[in-house]
């Protein structure tokens, strides 16, 4: 049976009907807000390429965390920008490192908020790569040791969940082992499992001061055209003990997300990254699109493709709007 018996417009006729047949809904509980933490006190420094996003000192990030939890965002993910960087990324696993102090402060002040930490070396290394460098090579296994050590230091500081973003082979297994060996078997791992070498990370690198000083990240992050390989990456991370899998970026990789939704039973996260966020704001500032609607449409598409969690810089604004 088709037209004229079937008329799909019948269920689109009013806002109420559209609400009743809506298949996908954004909810506050889907949202995770990334936060950048810097040294100092009283610092709230806007990031030029990311309207509405700031870098906070530890005292200020506590207030911001409180504010976003109060509007209903259940979780934040922390990125640290240390004062000093070196070749081995010493600050990444320092007990008094920037992220470790921020976790401690937020956990003691904002009860109930889930504090996730991004685990990587790139914000802490003077060369800006996500691992240990020998010559021009980023060497896998020594990097994994440093990354696992960072995850442990975050757990010791009180992190509710750790999220390795480096894309080294074997890091999830190494993190699981070191956490379990130190009485942190309850701390889940959110693995940046399919993270692509993307042009959309530009504004983040300004915010996190993590631009590689030589070369690029294509020798460890994934090549954008590869779909089957993304499933292999995710399957391996699951086998190594990941609790949640992430696809990053989100919009250019919705097919990967949909594949993962069919393939795996675990919660899936997607990172709507800085460039995706910045493009919407830039076009809206020029009056070329309705920024608020475009943002919501982008985020609902990520959920429709299969994500349970969305990491987005729009989390607090959207949560406030969703009520």
38 or 130: whose CB is closer to Zn ion?
130
103 or 130: whose CB is closer to Zn ion?
130
Helix, strand or coil, per DSSP, at residue 297: helix
Q: Which residues bind Zn ion (CB under 5 A)?
A: 120, 122, 130
Q: How far is the CB of 208 from Zn ion (least distance, A)?
A: 9
CA angle 38, 34, 250 (to 5 degrees): 140
N residues, the chain: 323
Answer whether 310's CB lies under 8 Å from 250's CB.
yes
Q: How far is the CB of 165 from Zn ion (least distance, A)?
A: 5
213 backbone dihedrals φ, ψ, rounded to 5°? -80, -20
Q: Would you state the torsion angle of the CA atoms of residues 182, 185, 190, 191, taken in this order, to the nearest 10 degrees?
A: 70
Catalytic residue among 66, 85, 107, 195: 195
60 or 150: whose CB is closer to Zn ion?
150
Phi-psi group of 209: left, alpha or beta (phi > 0 → left; psi -120 to 50 → alpha; rest → beta) = left
Q: How far is the CB of 122 from Zn ion (least distance, A)?
A: 3
Comparing CA positions, the residue from 271, 273, 269, 270 lying closest to residue 203 is: 273
Catalytic-residue membership of 248: yes
Centroid of chain to Cα 95: 23
73 or 130: whose CB is closer to Zn ion?
130
Non-local (6+) Cβ contacts of 265 within 8 A are none
Q: How far is the CB of 283 from Zn ion (least distance, A)?
A: 28
Give the single-character DSSP code of 201: G
Q: How far is the CB of 85 from Zn ion (least distance, A)?
A: 13
Comparing CA positions, the residue from 13, 159, 153 lying closest to residue 77 is: 159
The continuous run of DSSP H or E covering 197 comes out as none
Report the C-alpha gap between 276 and 228 in whole angstroms.
24
Catalytic-residue membership of 195: yes
130 or 157: whose CB is closer to Zn ion?
130
Question: Can you tell me which residue has the tokens 């074997």?
Answer: 170
Catalytic residue among 66, 85, 248, 303: 248
138 or 295: whose CB is closer to Zn ion?
138
Question: 242: how many CB neighbours lie within 10 A of its CB?
Answer: 26
Q: How far is the CB of 82 from Zn ion (least distance, A)?
A: 14
What is the set of active-site residues?
A: 195, 248
């Amino acid at each position: 049976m088709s037209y004229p018996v079937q008329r799909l417009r019948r269920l689109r006729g009013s806002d109420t009907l559209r609400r009743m047949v809506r298949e996908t809904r954004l909810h506050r509980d889907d949202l995770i807000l990334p936060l950048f933490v810097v040294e100092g006190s009283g610092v709230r420094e806007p990031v030029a390429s990311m309207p509405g996003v700031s870098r906070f000192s530890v005292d200020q990030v506590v207030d911001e965390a409180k504010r976003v939890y109060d509007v209903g965002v259940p979780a934040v993910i922390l990125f640290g920008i240390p004062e000093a960087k070196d070749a081995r990324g010493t600050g990444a696993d320092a007990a008094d490192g920037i992220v470790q102090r921020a976790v401690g402060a937020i956990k003691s002040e904002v009860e109930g908020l889930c504090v996730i930490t991004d685990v990587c070396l790139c914000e802490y290394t003077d060369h800006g790569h996500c691992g240990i460098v020998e010559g021009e090579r980023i060497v896998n296994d020594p990097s994994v040791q440093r990354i696992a050590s960072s995850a442990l230091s975050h757990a010791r500081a009180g992190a509710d969940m750790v999220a390795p973003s480096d894309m080294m082979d074997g890091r999830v297994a190494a993190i699981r082992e070191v956490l379990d060996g130190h009485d942190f078997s309850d701390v889940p791992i959110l693995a940046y499992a399919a993270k692509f070498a993307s042009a959309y990370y530009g504004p983040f690198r300004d915010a996190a001061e993590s631009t590689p000083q030589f070369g690029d990240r294509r020798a460890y992050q994934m090549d954008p055209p590869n779909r089957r390989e993304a499933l292999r990456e995710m399957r391996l991370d699951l086998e190594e003990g990941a609790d949640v899998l992430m696809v990053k970026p989100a919009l250019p990789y919705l097919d990967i997300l949909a594949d993962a939704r069919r393939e795996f039973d675990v919660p899936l996260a997607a990172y709507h990254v800085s460039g995706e966020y910045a493009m919407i704001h830039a076009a809206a500032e020029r009056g070329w699109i309705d920024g608020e609607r475009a943002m919501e449409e982008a985020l609902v598409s990520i959920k429709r493709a299969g994500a349970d969690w969305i990491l987005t810089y729009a989390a607090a604004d959207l949560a406030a709007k969703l009520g």
